[in-house]
Amino acid sequence: KDYFEFLNRKINHVLIDVRVDSQFNCYRFTHALHFPLERFCQKKLNEIIDIISLNHSQDDLETICFICRRGKKSREAVSYLLDQLQNATETKINNVYDVKGGFQEWHETIDPLCPFF
């Protein structure tokens, strides 16, 4: 529900989907950037920002949200990014969020037509 409200308020953000390719290819939010967790956690902050900046404006960079299947991998991504940000001296990223419960929660509480596998 939190992400649904986030979307309704039209807050500038980047949504990063950290699921594996096969899950991402079955269903995704069209505005999501696909960045599987294994690849994401191999990158340094400047590389992450460069990849995000290819498809998003600088205003979007202020808020980063992560989503996965059930919420576990997105929490790991949040933790990894927050660790990277601790050493950052200059970045536009101010807010980092996890879409709690991931697509399973979205399916159960927001959109039952959203496939969950």
Give tens-digit pLDDT for 68-109. 999 999 999 999 999 999 988 788 899 999 999 999 999 899
| Domains of the chain in sequence order | 3-110 (3.40.250.10)
Please list the residues that pair with 75 across neighbouring strands: none
Looking up tokens 């939190």 gives 2
Determine the pLDDT at residue 116. Answer: 74
Determine the pLDDT at residue 115. Answer: 78
- With bands split at pLDDT 50, 70 and 90, how would you rate the model's confidence at 58? confident
Dihedral angle at the C-alpha atoms of 27, 29, 33, 34, nearest 10 degrees?
-10
Between 35 and 112, name the one with better pLDDT: 35
Determine the pLDDT at residue 117. Answer: 67
